[in-house]
Amino acid sequence: MLTSAVLVPSAPLLVPELSGDSAESAQVRAAATTAVSRLAHEAVHWVGVGVGPENAEPEKAAGELWRSGVGRGQIGTFAGFGADVRTSLDADAAGEPVPSLELCALVAGWLRGRTDVEITVDMHVVSAKASADECREFGQQLRKQLDSDNRPQGLLIVADGASTLTAKAPGSFDERAAGVQSAIDDALTAGDPEALLALDPRLCRSVGAQGRAAWQVLAGVFTGSSRSAHPRATVDYSDAPFGVGYHVGTWRP
């Protein structure tokens, strides 16, 4: 049964070895670790959802736009981002680090390791090309999976907002980004699944808001059951210190 969904950024800056001790990074990190620590004391079984790179191909063999079980039993590393900080999504992970694990899976594994509870994360990576309807459908499937298990289940959404909010942002400046980010922030703060589903995939992609697909999966989870048609949302952090929209919060059925 779903207990709650925690929303965190898909950002390497959460890892101190990658971002240093800047006050901005520390604030985001503290919010994210606090949020996942709360989740860990509600449920030790998590379902994670993140978004793959824009240039990644869908899982054609399955005819789907998402991959499940990502990183299961594997060690991940942030070496490609500047430091060999290792992560895992479950206690059985072993072997040499897998350099190709998606960033969202690395972040989920790193946050798992910040809790004082033994957590298992079943990670799903959604294609950035998935439509709003496809994301909603997948979210509704996940909700059935979560509610069919009698054990408490947590949901971890790993996603970033627009990356073009300032001239120094990773994607440079796009004047449309502020409006898109405002719509995202409002929807996440209000716990409004329909507003998330209304986000335009093409516009979000243009302003670098790759987290759109993961948030629309979240919306599907919360429209997939009458028990949570109006989730209760709380916010731990919502800002864009480096020109990228970051949100940390919790949605509860």
Domains of the chain by start residue, with CATH: 2-252 (3.40.830.10)
pLDDT at position 54, please? 72
Give residues with Cβ within 8 angstroms of 103, minimum separation 6. Answer: 10, 12, 50, 81
- Of all helices (H) and strands (E), which one includes residue 49? strand 45-51
- Of all helices (H) and strands (E), which one includes residue 215? helix 212-223
Residues of the chain with pLDDT under 50: 57-63
Burial zone of 20 (CB within 10 Å; 0-12 exposed, 13-18 middle, 19+ buried) = exposed
pLDDT at position 64, please? 67
Q: Count the Cβ atoms, other than its own, within 10 Å of residue 57.
A: 10
pLDDT at position 224, please? 76
CA distances from 33 to 43, 101, 104, 237 (A): 15, 21, 15, 11
CA distances from 227 to 60, 75, 195, 222 (A): 34, 36, 19, 8
pLDDT at position 61, please? 36
pTM across the whole model: 0.95
One-letter amino acid of 46: W
Cα-flanking dihedrals φ and ψ of residue 12, to 5°? -60, -25
- Of all helices (H) and strands (E), which one includes residue 204? helix 201-206
